[in-house]
Amino acid sequence: MSLLIEGGHVLVEGRLLRENVFIDKGKIQQITPQRPNADQEINAKGKIVLPGLIDCHVHCREPGLTHKEDFYTASMAAAAGGVTTFFDMPNTHPPTFDIEDLEAKREMAKKSLVNYGFYFGASSNNIEQIKKARNIAAVKIYMNETTGNLLLENDTIIEEIFKHAPRIAVHAEGEQIRKAIHLAKKYKKFLYLCHISSKDEIALIKKEKTENIFCEVAPHHLFLTDSDHKKMKGLAYMKPVLKSKKDQNALWKGIEDNTVDTIGTDHAPHTLMEKKSNSPPAGVPGLETMLPLLLNAVNEKKLTLQKLSELTAANPARIFGIKNKGIIKEGYDADVVVVDLNKEYKISNDALFTKCKWSPFHGKKVKGAVDFTIVNGNLIYHHREFERIRAREVVFSG
């Protein structure tokens, strides 16, 4: 089925152009002032057409933790948030430590409405499995304590993984970041530093960065601080924890000076009951609030649309070697989101599609909303309605 996105302003090579986008056979066929005949038309007058977001950091919670989320509900939240591809994290039950677990996940993820990729987990004894894993985003090493039992503290084992895994992503905070960077340089490896949250860390990364080392920040660290943690308690508790205003400013500065490469949600849903308990688990959902919050930041002149799109689409595709995604270009995959930069609304728990049904941003007013989400050329989300069309696993190259 062909599709015409008509009358919008389309982000092409960093500029907003008044063009129509003609989509057929899953691809962007033409960016044109003409109006080719299409089976379906989307009126995008007054709207902005962006490449669909690629979220490099999502906990879909399947298998084993599906009372919090599963691939289907995570993908609904993603689609409602303009995210057309996500990479799933390995701290499930069981964790993704061997090929069998990975293959099982591949089956489970088939119900996803958005495209997906997987991280592989590193344990103290799965190096042979790591060597065999194919088409993964990276091997994730937990160098600090967090949800799940995935912490690796043995330096010899960590070094062994850096030696053998082609690409490594780390949950590393403070001094652990220095260690990870040292090992990445020693073995000339791709290193993706997840959810960097403090001023000192940004300063260290700015100094030590190479073309193989990448830095992610999460929306909760950009839009919340430790004072929100004090107010919201468990509901604003995640790893790394929320930091000061000074740290937050450093993250924004890091975005400006290109120390930061990506914004990834670290969508880590837990139920409200779990979060309101005496010992709440770390993590907050973020898939459907990231883009509205960032569009609101564009309206507040904290960010340009071009930069937003680089951090959430073009850079993830380039860094992880996903061909034909991340920008709007003829011949590229038709993963597209149409947004309304002028629509104002209040983020509300009731309106969320994540299974956990709450957000630390509940009650926050934003200007900027997702209207239409197109995945592989199919309109799968518009104005709170979904079309149940399955998406597919992405191919990582390099």
> Under the rule (CB under 6 A), what is the footprint of ligand NCD?
59, 91, 146-147, 171, 238-239, 266, 268, 282-283
Closest CA to 143 of 179, 187, 95, 104: 179
Q: Which of residues 249-268 bind Zn ion (CB under 5 A)?
A: 266
282 binds, among Zn ion, ligand NCD, none (CB under 5 to 8 A by kind): ligand NCD
146 binds, among Zn ion, ligand NCD, none (CB under 5 to 8 A by kind): ligand NCD
Q: Look at the alpha carbons of 368, 348, 92, 381 in this order and tell me if their dihedral is positive or negative.
A: negative
**Which H helix or E strand runs over 389?**
none
Q: Residue 293 Cβ, how far from ligand NCD at the closest point, in Å?
A: 17
239 binds, among ligand NCD, Zn ion, none (CB under 5 to 8 A by kind): ligand NCD
Q: Residue 171 Cβ, how far from ligand NCD at the closest point, in Å?
A: 5
Question: Which one, 147 or 306, has the nearer CB to ligand NCD?
Answer: 147
Distance of CA 146 to the CA centre of its chain: 19
Distance of CA 371 to the CA centre of its chain: 19
Question: Which one, 73 or 91, has the nearer CB to ligand NCD?
Answer: 91
Q: Residue 88 Cβ, how far from ligand NCD at the closest point, in Å?
A: 11
C-alpha distances out from residue 66 to 71, 186, 238, 273, 299, Å: 9, 39, 19, 15, 36
Position with the least CB separation from ligand NCD: 283
CA–CA distance, 38 with 374 (Å, rounded to integer): 15
371 binds, among ligand NCD, Zn ion, none (CB under 5 to 8 A by kind): none
351 binds, among ligand NCD, Zn ion, none (CB under 5 to 8 A by kind): none
CA–CA distance, 107 with 98 (Å, rounded to integer): 15
Q: Residue 59 Cβ, how far from ligand NCD at the closest point, in Å?
A: 4
Q: Count residues contacting Zn ion (CB under 5 A)?
A: 1
Question: 55 is written with which tokens?
Answer: 């979220």
- As annotated, the active-site residues are 266
Please give the full DSSP string across 296-320, using - where no structure is assigned.
HHHHTTSS-HHHHHIIIIIHHHHHT
Closest CA to 268 of 215, 191, 194: 194
Q: Amino acid identity of 28?
A: I
- Number of other CB atoms surrounding residue 342 within 10 Å: 13
Q: Residue 1 Cβ, how far from Zn ion at the closest point, in Å?
A: 36
The beta strand positions in the chain, using DSSP E, are 3-12, 15-24, 27-32, 40-43, 48-51, 53-58, 83-88, 115-118, 120-121, 139-142, 167-171, 190-193, 213-217, 262-263, 336-346, 365-375, 378-382, 385-386
Question: Which one, 20 or 92, has the nearer CB to Zn ion?
Answer: 92
Q: Amino acid identity of 396?
A: F
Q: Residue 243 Cβ, how far from ligand NCD at the closest point, in Å?
A: 14
91 binds, among ligand NCD, Zn ion, none (CB under 5 to 8 A by kind): ligand NCD
Question: Which one, 201 or 266, has the nearer CB to Zn ion?
Answer: 266
Question: Which one, 261 or 266, has the nearer CB to ligand NCD?
Answer: 266
349 binds, among ligand NCD, Zn ion, none (CB under 5 to 8 A by kind): none
> What does the DSSP 8-state code read for residue 267?
B
Q: Residue 152 Cβ, how far from ligand NCD at the closest point, in Å?
A: 13
Q: Which of residues 332-391 bind Zn ion (CB under 5 A)?
A: none
Question: Which one, 136 or 379, has the nearer CB to ligand NCD?
Answer: 136
CA–CA distance, 70 with 82 (Å, rounded to integer): 18
C-alpha distances out from residue 266 to 59, 80, 323, Å: 7, 16, 23
Question: Which one, 19 or 266, has the nearer CB to Zn ion?
Answer: 266
**Residues that bind Zn ion in the complex, under the rule CB under 5 A:** 266
